[in-house]
């Protein structure tokens, strides 16, 4: 074969004489480094002879000339080398073929890990059936208003569910229960019924006082026996409130007062003594309540309130909802099979789970979640319920650790027929029977609050695995963290809780969700003013970014103008964008770490803001397409988290659900015209020096438009930015600005208030009052008197400011 024109074949004789293949390859590489690799180069026999001596391309990456030529010759001649043998490449006039292609090494994709309470570790999440995920979540016991503790669990699980479904694309089947048969419900229903009857009888003042004294006797015994400090404090508060309400009524009775004054004192005492009287009435008359409808009306009402609260929080409804009252036949069958399998026993009409028998079985374990809590009688009795821990009930058990599967009903309790006599379900069995009926012998995920781990979830696991005779009823157990209120334990029984409705009066559902997203779902969350202020600031930070991007996208541009050449700034921002997406993906794979996700999103927005500010400083238009892509990605992630309603295409919606798109698209063109007209008027007013028109223009911006939810932002030398913002947000901003301006004015000592006005005055007295105008003429008596009044008014304001500073009320 002839070489290409102008090139001489190298002298290979010295290379071929080298016996060591590695050394021969090194020498060959040095020779080849002086030759150019030409696409159409025709091979010489010397080329082929040199490479025939190589058994394979060298592994040393520095010998890339040899590797490249070896691959080239091998591809042309189609004679791959045999392993450990000389290459045997033969010269050929065959047609040129494509070189061999090797795929990139790539990176190992990260996999979703979830913190599993069964192992207390983050485990790779592997559903049992492809992408299908079966998930059971413990729902509320509906006997009172839903509170922020409920919000903590159900918002957190809603975020996890949305991420698994919409981000990781799992096919999630989500089941939740409503507990509408329970000791708490029975007792509260009876108390409400009996207290309402008592109130309708309109007791005389003397009778009410006598009844309150009678109710105080067992109450004080309970108070003295209570050792829990928080509970004792709550009972003392009730006692104090009753005492304060009793004294005025006692004085009114002693003074033989009648009419409205006595009636008002009676109403106050009835309200303050409601809990105390309800307990007393229940203890004396509760066994006579026999109407089953009384026990169903209360949970039905509070279940409705719960669903309304969840809808207000933008929590997705479950795919299927189960109520205990609708699954009693299934529960009876479930209990019967546990007894048949040898893990349950009947005692005096009740059925108990035999924890000793279960734990001694080779294929079962009791206390999988919290083994160290097994034997904790206080926790076990709380799980059994207040109506089920009397001495006679406890004596029915073979072991103190055994728990009720079915409870024989006592007078004043609802009941259902069963093989063991009339009774009602135990608390733990309810979830097992309902979940088992719908999800079968093994589910992927079971979720609930941290405080449910023992005994509730441990008992669920035991009785379900006793029923199915397996050891894998739940594959992944997820528990949301506690919620504290300003650092204090939240407890409905201690009356230290905030209802969801009250929380929504202070903050929006989005703001509450952002607060939860900024914390780990499995750790304790402190619901406090600091927590919510952080969420408010985060929302404002993101919203301003979205509004700025919308303003950029509204700027008129032709079709081709949408795409402009990128400079270093755009390339760097785009790299940061993809880096942040990678970090966000890693965070979501790491136990759905939304806290890190929110920080990465904040950092990405900060980078965008710096980019936009830099472009603005040099009067360059930022890249529309790049900023739109970033804003759409952030919107998409916030939608996945449930923080943005579906109606919004970019950023937070304006005007409430269902109105955002129509409002923005309809109103914005008119606001843009108004903005441009205002800019023209302001320009003329400045040129013609008409301050009154400029003041009217400022009033439109500062006073009128905020009332309509519109913000105009004026920038020197640039068009006014128009933004649609929540009206209440704008009004709050306006009040804060006015307050800040007022404080700034109050801060100025009266002795300094005129000193800066050198364009008006030239001389001042020792108090800082002007004495001469700018031309050096002494001020008239009338002018001096007017300034004196202003001075005294400022003196008063400044004293008020100093007092506020001393009291710490400037914030």
Among 566, 549, 521, residue whose Cα is nearest residue 630? 549
Q: Could you say which DSSP state residue 388 is in?
A: G
Tell me the mean pLDDT in the region 638-644.
97
Among 693, 701, 738, 694, residue whose Cα is nearest residue 722? 701
Phi and psi of 527, rounded to 5°? -85, 105
Asked if pLDDT for residue 15 goes beyond 60, the answer is yes
Give me the torsion for CA of 196, 201, 202, 207, rounded to 10°.
-110
User: What is the share, in percent, of the chain residues with pLDDT greater than 70?
Assistant: 92
DSSP characters over 364-431: --S-SS-GGGTT-HHHHHHHH-GGG-SHHHHTT-SSTT-EEEEEEPPTTS--B--TTSSEEE-HHHHH
Q: Which of 27-31, 199-203, 260-264, 290-294 has the lowest mean pLDDT?
A: 27-31
In which band, very low, low, confident or very high, does the pLDDT at 5 lie, cut at 50, 70 and 90?
Answer: very low
Q: Where are the domains of the chain?
A: 12-77, 183-297, 525-555+562-653, 664-722, 748-807
| pLDDT of the residue at 182 | 94
| pLDDT of the residue at 79 | 53
- At 36, list the tokens: 């150019």
CB 405 within 8 A of CB 459: no
Alpha carbon distances (Å) from 771 to 595, 762, 785, 793, 795:
62, 8, 11, 18, 18
Residues 6 or more apart whose Cβ sits within 8 Å of residue 702: 734
Helices 274-285 & 229-254, crossing angle to 10 degrees? 100
Query: Which pLDDT tens digit goes with each residue over 133-156?
Result: 999 999 999 999 999 999 999 999
The two most distant CA atoms of the chain are separated, in Å, by: 133
Range 330-348 burial, b when 16+ CB lie within 10 A, else e:
bbbebbbebbeeebbbbbe
Pairing mode, if any, of strands 171-178 and 320-323?
Answer: parallel
Asked if pLDDT for residue 544 goes beyond 50, the answer is yes
Tell me the mean pLDDT in the region 424-437.
97
Asked if pLDDT for residue 557 goes beyond 90, the answer is no
Q: What is the mean pLDDT of the chain?
A: 89
Phi and psi of 489, rounded to 5°? -60, 135
CA 290/CA 413 separation, integer angstroms? 7
Q: Which residue has the tokens 């203890």?
A: 283
Range 132-142 burial, b when 16+ CB lie within 10 A, else e:
ebbbbbbbbbb
Q: Is the pTM of this model over 0.85?
A: no
Pairing mode, if any, of strands 443-449 and 132-137?
Answer: parallel
Q: Which residue has the tokens 């991420």?
A: 163
Asked if pLDDT for residue 49 goes beyond 90, the answer is no
Q: Could you say which DSSP state residue 483 is in?
A: E
Residues 6 or more apart whose Cβ sits within 8 Å of residue 594: 159, 516, 517, 518, 520, 521, 587, 588, 641
DSSP characters over 699-719: HIIIIIGGGGTEEEEEETTEE
Q: Is 478 left (phi over 0), alpha (psi -120 to 50) or beta?
A: beta
Asked if pLDDT for residue 763 goes beyond 80, the answer is yes
Asked if pLDDT for residue 399 goes beyond 50, the answer is yes
């Amino acid at each position: 074969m002839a070489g290409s024109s102008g090139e001489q074949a190298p002298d290979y004789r010295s290379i071929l004489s080298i016996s060591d293949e590695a050394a021969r390859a090194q020498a060959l590489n040095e020779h080849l480094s002086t030759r150019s690799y030409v696409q159409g180069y025709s091979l010489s026999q010397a080329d082929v002879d040199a490479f025939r001596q190589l058994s394979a391309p060298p592994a040393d990456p520095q010998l890339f000339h040899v590797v490249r030529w070896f691959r080239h010759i091998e591809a042309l001649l189609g004679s791959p080398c045999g392993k450990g043998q000389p290459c045997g490449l033969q010269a050929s006039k065959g047609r040129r073929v494509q070189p061999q292609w090797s795929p990139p090494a790539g990176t190992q994709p990260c996999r979703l890990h979830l913190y599993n309470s069964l192992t207390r570790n983050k485990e790779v999440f592997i559903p049992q059936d492809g992408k299908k995920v079966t998930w059971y979540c413990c729902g509320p016991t509906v006997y009172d208003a839903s509170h922020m503790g409920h919000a903590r669990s159900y918002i957190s699980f809603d975020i996890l569910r949305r991420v698994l479904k919409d981000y990781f694309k799992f096919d999630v089947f989500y089941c939740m229960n409503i507990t509408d048969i329970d000791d708490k419900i029975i007792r509260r229903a009876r108390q409400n019924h009996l207290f309402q009857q008592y109130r309708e009888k309109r007791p005389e003042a003397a009778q009410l006082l006598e009844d309150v004294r009678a109710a105080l006797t067992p109450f004080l015994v309970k108070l003295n026996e209570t050792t829990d400090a928080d509970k004792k404090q709550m009972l003392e508060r009730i006692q104090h409130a009753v005492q304060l309400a009793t004294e005025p009524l006692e004085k009114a009775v002693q003074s033989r007062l009648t009419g409205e004054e006595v009636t008002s004192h009676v109403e106050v005492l009835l309200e303050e003594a409601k809990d105390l009287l309800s307990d007393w009435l229940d203890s004396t008359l509760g066994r006579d309540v026999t109407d089953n409808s009384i026990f169903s009306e209360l949970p039905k009402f509070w279940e409705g309130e719960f669903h309304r609260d969840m809808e207000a929080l933008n929590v997705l409804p479950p795919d299927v909802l189960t109520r205990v009252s609708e699954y009693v036949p299934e529960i009876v069958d479930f209990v019967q099979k546990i007894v048949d399998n040898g893990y349950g026993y009947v005692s005096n009409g009740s059925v108990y789970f035999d924890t000793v028998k279960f734990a001694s079985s080779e294929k079962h374990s009791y206390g999988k979640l919290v083994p160290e809590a097994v034997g904790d009688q206080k926790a076990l009795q709380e799980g059994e319920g207040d109506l089920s821990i009397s001495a006679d009930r406890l004596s029915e058990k073979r072991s103190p650790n055994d728990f009720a599967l079915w409870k024989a009903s006592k007078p004043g309790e609802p009941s259902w027929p069963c093989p063991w006599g009339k009774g009602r379900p135990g608390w733990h069995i309810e979830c097992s029977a309902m979940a088992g009926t719908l999800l079968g012998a093994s589910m992927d995920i079971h979720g609930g609050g941290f405080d449910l781990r023992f005994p509730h979830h441990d008992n669920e696991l035991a009785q379900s695995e006793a029923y199915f005779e397996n050891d894998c009823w739940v594959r992944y157990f997820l528990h949301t963290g506690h919620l504290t209120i300003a650092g204090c334990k939240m407890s409905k029984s201690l009356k230290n809780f905030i209802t969801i409705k009250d929380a929504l009066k202070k903050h929006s559902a989005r703001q509450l969700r952002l607060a939860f997203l900024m914390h780990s779902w499995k750790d304790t969350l402190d619901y406090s003013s600091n927590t919510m202020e952080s969420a408010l600031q985060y929302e404002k930070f993101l919203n301003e970014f979205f509004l700025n991007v919308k303003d950029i996208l509204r700027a008129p541009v032709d079709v081709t103008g949408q795409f402009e050449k990128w400079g270093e700034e755009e390339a760097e921002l785009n790299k940061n964008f993809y880096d942040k997406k990678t970090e966000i993906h890693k965070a979501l794979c790491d136990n759905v770490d939304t806290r890190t996700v929110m920080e990465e999103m904040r950092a990405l927005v900060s980078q965008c803001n710096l980019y936009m500010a830099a472009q603005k400083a040099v009067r360059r238009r930022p890249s529309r397409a790049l900023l739109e892509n970033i804003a759409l990605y952030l919107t998409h992630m916030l939608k996945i988290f449930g923080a943005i309603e579906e109606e919004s295409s970019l950023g937070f919606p304006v005007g409430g659900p269902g109105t955002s798109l129509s409002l923005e698209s309809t109103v914005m063109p008119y606001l843009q015209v108004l903005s441009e007209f205002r800019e023209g008027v302001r320009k003329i007013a400045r040129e013609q020096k008409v301050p009154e028109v400029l003041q009217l223009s400022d009033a439109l911006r500062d006073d009128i438009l905020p009332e309509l939810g519109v913000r105009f932002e004026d920038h020197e030398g640039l068009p006014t930015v128009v933004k649609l913002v929540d009206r209440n947000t704008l009004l709050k901003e306006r009040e804060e600005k006015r307050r800040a301006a007022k404080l700034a004015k109050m801060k100025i000592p009266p002795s300094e208030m005129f000193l800066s006005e050198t364009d008006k005055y030239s001389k001042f007295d020792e108090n800082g009052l002007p004495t001469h105008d700018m031309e050096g003429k002494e001020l008239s008596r009338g002018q001096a008197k007017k300034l004196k009044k202003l001075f005294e008014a400022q003196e008063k304001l400044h004293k008020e400011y100093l007092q506020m500073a001393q009291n710490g009320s400037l914030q």
